[in-house]
Structure 1
Amino acid sequence: MTPQWHRIDDGTLLIAGQPVPLPHPVKEALRHKDRLLILVEPPPDVIFNRNVFALSMHGELLWQIEESPHGTEVDKPYVNLHCDKNEWVIASNWNGLSYSVDLHNGAVSVAAFEK
């Protein structure tokens, strides 16, 4: 088992005990190999659709996710992150779309439509 190098404390991400500045509180963190994927939750009155970030083990920003290219709604942030059985990172939208996330650059492609 590898040591825990990050933690979430009341919506704040800490890496090696130091807070990492993010635009909104952290809702979810998903460790994937040598990076940490962070889902932030903007307030209800703020439109912030690129709400997933990839960070290095040192807190360096690697990329910010691409906005969902589907749907006519203006407000369509991602609502959760998980790894599927093939170890692909999946980011889901409240509008029923799940996207496979390219871990090199944050680009998305449709993985499933669930509505």
Structure 2
Amino acid sequence: MREELYYILNGVLFIKGVKKDLPRPVEEVLYSSEKIIFRYVVDGKTFDNRNIGAFSKNGDFLWFIEESCPKDKFNEYYKMYLNEDNELVSRIWAGQEFLIDSK
């Protein structure tokens, strides 16, 4: 049986079978350039505009997205995708999209 590189089970991210502890349940995962990029749930109760991060394919933590502006002027990320150039794009509740430096 082939081991999956990553999977989500009940909102918990596993990489190579090892559970990754994150502040909230993971809702979305992308794989790009040897990185596993995750976005955890926006719950509307706890403000956090740093809800996107990445692990290496070996399961080592790499980064959380930087806080981009004061919390009272920014919404949490609620969607992410890779564009046609394989760049990470994320969207906030207000509909704005941002190109994320995922290096």
Normalising TM by the smaller chain, what interval?
0.7 to 0.9
Shift of 1:57: 1.1
- Written as runs of structure 1 = structure 2, the 5 A alignment for 1:33-52 is 33-52=33-52
Displacement over 4 Å in runs of 4+: none
Residue 101 of structure 1 corresponds to: 100
Identity of aligned pairs, percent?
27
The count of residues paired between Structure 1 and Structure 2 equals 101
Deviation at 1:23, TM superposition (A): 0.8
The gaps in structure 2 that reach 5 residues or longer are none
* Cα distance in 2 for residues equivalent to 1:51 and 1:73: 16
Note the C-alpha offset of 1:33. 2.1
TM-score, normalised via structure 2 length: 0.87
Q: Matches of 1:54 and 1:78 in 2, distance apart?
A: 15
- Within 5 Å, which residues of 2 pair with 1:26-65? 26-65=26-65
| TM-score normalised per structure 1 | 0.78
Is 1:84 the counterpart of 2:68? The answer is: no
Separation in 1 of the partners of 2:63 and 2:10? 23
Q: Distance in 2 between matches of 1:51 and 1:88?
A: 18
